[in-house]
Amino acid sequence: MSTSPRRHQRETGTRQPRHPRRHPAASQSHLTELGTDVVATRLRTLGHPMRLRIMRALDGRQANADQLAETLGEQVGAIRAHLAVLYRAGVVRRVDDGAGRPTYELADWPSLWLVQQLAYRLRLRAMEDGDEAEESPACR
């Protein structure tokens, strides 16, 4: 019975690292001491599931807190609190809707893109891990 290439690599120790070289955009020059603090602050801001849901809901449209609460099925007070955090961080901006209510739109689409890319990579990793689990004798 033949073994899969992945199992062969694992057993013989010939498996190549997942990322043998760094991506050019991942230069260390972008992560200076000041930059790491700024990046860490932004990641903490994005680190709440409700804030991610709000960002996704604002992708390509404007909405006020009441509309977001209805769309997301959450309490308006919680939505307003998260919008305040996102606003202070510059992730969303207020726009005039003509009715005097604060309406928001996504101001920092690269942050949403970053989160989407991370989710994509995590999904790929989970699928790869699932393939390895299927090959494992312990799963048979």
Q: Is the pLDDT of residue 75 over 90?
A: yes
Run of H or E including 136: none
Give the pTM: 0.67
3 against 89, higher pLDDT: 89
Per-residue pLDDT averaged across 24-48, rounded?
74
Q: What is the C-alpha to C-alpha distance for residues 116 and 108, in angstroms, rounded to an integer? A: 13
Q: Is the pLDDT of residue 16 over 60?
A: no
18 against 67, higher pLDDT: 67
Contact yes or no for 51/86 (Cβ under 8 A): yes
Contact yes or no for 83/67 (Cβ under 8 A): no
Instruction: Measure Cα distances from 97 to 9, 64, 72, 81, 106 in Å.
Output: 59, 9, 20, 20, 15
Contact yes or no for 82/104 (Cβ under 8 A): no
Q: What is the C-alpha to C-alpha distance for residues 117 and 115, in angstroms, rounded to an integer? A: 5
* CA proximity to 114, closest of 68, 15, 45: 45
Percent of the chain with pLDDT over 90: 38
Per-residue pLDDT averaged across 60-82, rounded?
95
Q: What is the C-alpha to C-alpha distance for residues 89 and 91, in angstroms, rounded to an integer? A: 6
pLDDT score of 17: 55
Q: Is the pLDDT of residue 127 over 80?
A: yes
The number of angstroms, rounded, from the C-alpha of 14 to the middle of its chain's C-alpha atoms is 32
Q: Is the pLDDT of residue 55 over 80?
A: yes
Q: Is the pLDDT of residue 99 over 80?
A: no
44 against 129, higher pLDDT: 44
Contact yes or no for 104/83 (Cβ under 8 A): yes
Query: Confidence band (pLDDT; 50, 70, 90) for 104?
Result: very high
pLDDT score of 138: 47
